[in-house]
């Protein structure tokens, strides 16, 4: 088990942890940076300043209670639905690939793709928000056409690692995926 530090596409520090459970089973987890105290206090101060300004203009004290309420509810929604703490990829050679996202509130959302549907795991480049980024994705097999790709499943969407981290993950996945070609069916 080893952990290495990399950078995300926007420059934030991320960490990649690799674990080899067996010869045909690997787990790769990317940990995103935690919620920063300074950005949390900046947003809270901005919202409360605006609310205080509205209170001074309107003389209605409900604005202040509403601002506190909104800040609390907004923080809970952000931690539970938006802020991803860790994204992990579990590749089991003969079985399939499991993608897990853990949110900051503790919620985990998992997707499992069985190996029969997986055509390949590749590093693709695409235009995203006025930038060209590299991202890892799983190509799903088209049942009718052996050469065709029916669907593309992008991985590590919120941590967006840079190419050096993606190459490590790609090589680990390819070692396992190549075993299924050499192994007898």
Q: What is the dihedral of CA 33, 125, 172, 159, to 10 degrees?
A: 10
* CA 43/CA 63 separation, integer angstroms: 17
**Residue 136 beta carbon to another protein: minimum distance, rounded to whole angstroms:** 10
Q: Which lies closer to another protein via its Cβ, residue 51 or residue 160? A: 160
Residue 32 has phi, psi (to 5 degrees) of -85, 160
Q: Is the dihedral of CA 76, 77, 82, 84 positive or negative?
A: positive
Q: Which lies closer to another protein via its Cβ, residue 32 or residue 173? A: 173
In the shown chain, the binding pattern of residues 90 to 129 toward another protein, with x for contact by CB under 8 A and - for none, equals -----------------------------xx-xxxxxxx-
**Residue 181 beta carbon to another protein: minimum distance, rounded to whole angstroms:** 12
Q: Which of 14, 32, 139, 165 binds another protein (CB under 8 A)?
A: 139
> Could you say whether residue 156 binds another protein (CB under 8 A)?
no
> Could you say whether residue 16 binds another protein (CB under 8 A)?
no
Q: Which of 22, 61, 147, 185 binds another protein (CB under 8 A)?
A: 147
In the shown chain, the binding pattern of residues 32 to 71 toward another protein, with x for contact by CB under 8 A and - for none, equals ----------------------------------------
Interior/surface letters 76-88, b for 16+ CB within 10 angstroms, e for the rest: eebbeeebbbbbb
Sheet strands (E) in the chain:
2-7, 13-22, 25-31, 84-92, 96-103, 108-114, 118-128, 131-141, 149-154
Give the contacts of 81 (CB within 8 A, at least 6 positions apart).
103
Strands 118-128 and 13-22: unpaired
**Residue 137 beta carbon to another protein: minimum distance, rounded to whole angstroms:** 8
Which residues of this protein are in contact with another protein, per CB under 8 A? 119-120, 122-128, 135, 137, 139, 147-154, 157, 167, 170-171, 174
């Amino acid at each position: 088990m080893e952990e290495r530090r990399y950078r995300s596409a926007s420059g934030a520090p991320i960490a990649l942890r690799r674990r080899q459970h067996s010869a045909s089973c690997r787990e790769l987890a990317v940990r995103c940076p935690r919620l920063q105290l300074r950005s949390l206090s900046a947003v809270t101060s901005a919202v409360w300043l605006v609310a205080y300004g509205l209170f001074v203009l309107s003389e209605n004290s409900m604005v202040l209670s509403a601002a506190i309420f909104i800040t609390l509810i907004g923080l809970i929604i952000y931690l539970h639905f938006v802020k991803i703490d860790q994204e992990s990829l579990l590749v089991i050679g003969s079985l399939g690939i499991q993608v897990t996202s853990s949110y900051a509130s503790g919620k985990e959302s998992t997707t499992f793709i069985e190996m029969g549907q997986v055509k390949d795991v590749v590093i693709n480049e695409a235009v995203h928000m006025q930038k060209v980024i590299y991202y890892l994705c799983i190509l799903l097999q088209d049942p009718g056409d052996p050469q065709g790709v029916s669907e593309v499943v992008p991985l590590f969407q919120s941590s967006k690692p840079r190419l050096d981290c993606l190459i490590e993950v790609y090589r680990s996945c390819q070692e396992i995926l190549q075993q299924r070609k050499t192994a007898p069916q």
